[in-house]
Structure 1
Amino acid sequence: MSRPTPPDDRVITRRQVGAQIRRLPEHHHLTQLDVCRRSGIDVAIHSRIEQGHSSPFLDTLIRIADAIGVPRRDLVE
């Protein structure tokens, strides 16, 4: 059984959060692999979040923000 397609505004928000997750580590001189190692998140899952293809749990977003060293709100602004 396939999942229903999320509304456009949710897809846009996912992509915006993913873009922040992709952009913020660069300012801290971190690679995607650095963030994955620090957060304990699989690279493939992290990549899907960055691309907006996956909706992360709140705990996952907290781990990513902590791994990057930014306030959690910075991921969703």
Structure 2
Amino acid sequence: MPPEQPLPDWVPARRRAIGAAIRSTRLRRNLTQERLAERADLDRKTINRIEQGHTSADLDHLLLIADALGVPLSVLVRD
């Protein structure tokens, strides 16, 4: 199996942008990371890592977060 190729620079940049969209939406809703995590049935550390762009959120987590924030997923992932 060939070694894994590094991700293009735009991928982590987009991941950070999605995390920033989650954070700004969360703050507009006056939610803490802890409260968002409770609503989404996720760990607060998971929310933090996603917002900071340190980890790639899987689709299930993004769907749960969007639902917990009361927004369509497209709001969080649009360019």
TM-score (norm 1): 0.89
RMSD (Å), alpha carbons = 1.3
The alignment status of 1:31 with 2:32, answered yes or no, reads: yes
Greater than 6 Å deviation, 4+ residue runs = none
Name stretches of at least 5 consecutive residues in structure 2 with no aligned partner: none
Name stretches of at least 5 consecutive residues in structure 1 with no aligned partner: none
Equivalent pairs, count: 75
Determine which structure has greater relative contact order: mean sequence separation of CA pairs < 8 Å that are 6+ residues apart, divided by chain length.
1
Q: Higher mean Cα deviation, 11-20 or 24-33? A: 24-33
- 1:40 equivalent in structure 2: 41
TM-score (norm 2): 0.87
Q: Deviations over 1:16-60 (max 9, x none)?
A: 000011110111121111110000111111111111111111010
